[in-house]
Amino acid sequence: MDADARSDAALWLEATSGTEASFGVVYDRYRARIFRKACSRVFDRTDAEDVVAIVFLEAWRRRHEVRFVDGSLLPWLLVVTTNVSLNIERSGRRYRRLLAKLPAAEHTADPSHEVGARLDSERMSQQVTAALQRLGANDRRIVDLCLVDQLPMADVANVLDIPVGTVKSRLARARTRLQKELGSLRDLDEASRPTSGAQSPLDTGATR
């Protein structure tokens, strides 16, 4: 049987029994997905690559503790990716605070509508990221897995080892808080500009 067709659980059993190639199959299977996930959180390619390395190192270090959902290791890897990304975000705050104290460069007006649209998008992204950072760590993980990664609530509950009802209630509470906060930010933005096309991803986010 081709190793690539085997479940993660079967490959992991082989890997922990001494078959290094099986670990490589799991790595190749999910490296790109974990990298994309990391890029969405740390916004720096080098940091994202570091996240990938740390995630798989952590997976091997905790190889006898990993959790599978229907034979898949991906939900557990996504949780670890979120945790590692949070740690890197925290370690980078001191550097960002230092940069914030530096004098701002002289502003040069740019009439390009394309640049204006890009700045609007970046502003909204920063607002969403800041709002997420104000949530508790547990709520952030649930929002991240349910709304960003679109994992079913049952899978999130399984991998986090908490009841589905807890996932549902925390998600609803966090989503309401985020929508209220981001809505207030949009109101302030619209009051200072003639029009605003930015839309929060939380307005259209769905869970299964």
Based on the fold, state whether residues 127 and 201 are members of the same structural domain.
yes
User: Domain ends where: 49, 67, 85?
Assistant: 67
Q: Report the number of distinct structural domains present in the chain.
A: 2
In a domain, 28, yes or no: yes
Rounded to 10°, the helix 153-160/74-100 angle is 80
> Poorest-confidence range of 76-85, 156-165, 198-207?
198-207
In a domain, 50, yes or no: yes
Based on the fold, state whether residues 62 and 132 are members of the same structural domain.
no
Is pLDDT above 90 for 74? yes
In a domain, 96, yes or no: no
pLDDT at 4: 66
pLDDT at 75: 94
pLDDT at 86: 81
pLDDT, average across residues 132-143 = 81
In a domain, 93, yes or no: no
Where is pLDDT greater, at 41 or 14? 14
User: Domain ends where: 12, 41, 67?
Assistant: 67
In a domain, 119, yes or no: yes
Based on the fold, state whether residues 117 and 206 are members of the same structural domain.
yes
Half-sphere exposure of 124 (CA within 13 A, CB side): 18
Is pLDDT above 80 for 48? yes
Is pLDDT above 90 for 140? no
Is pLDDT above 90 for 194? no
Where is pLDDT greater, at 153 or 108? 153
Where is pLDDT greater, at 73 or 131? 73
pLDDT at 13: 92
Q: What is the percent of the chain where pLDDT is above 70?
A: 66
Based on the fold, state whether residues 116 and 186 are members of the same structural domain.
yes
pLDDT at 124: 57
pLDDT at 98: 45
Pair 18, 65: CB distance under 8 Å: no
Alpha carbon separation from 76 to 34, 84, 94, 107 (Å, rounded): 11, 12, 29, 45
Q: What are phi and psi for residue 204, nearest 5 degrees?
A: -120, 0
Pair 177, 163: CB distance under 8 Å: no
In a domain, 117, yes or no: yes
pLDDT, average across residues 19-38 = 92
- The CATH number of whichever domain residue 47 belongs to comes to 1.10.1740
pLDDT, average across residues 99-113 = 46
Range of the domain at 144: 112-208
Give me the residues paired with residue 69 across strands.
72
In a domain, 90, yes or no: no
pLDDT at 43: 74
Pair 58, 85: CB distance under 8 Å: no
In a domain, 174, yes or no: yes
Based on the fold, state whether residues 119 and 176 are members of the same structural domain.
yes
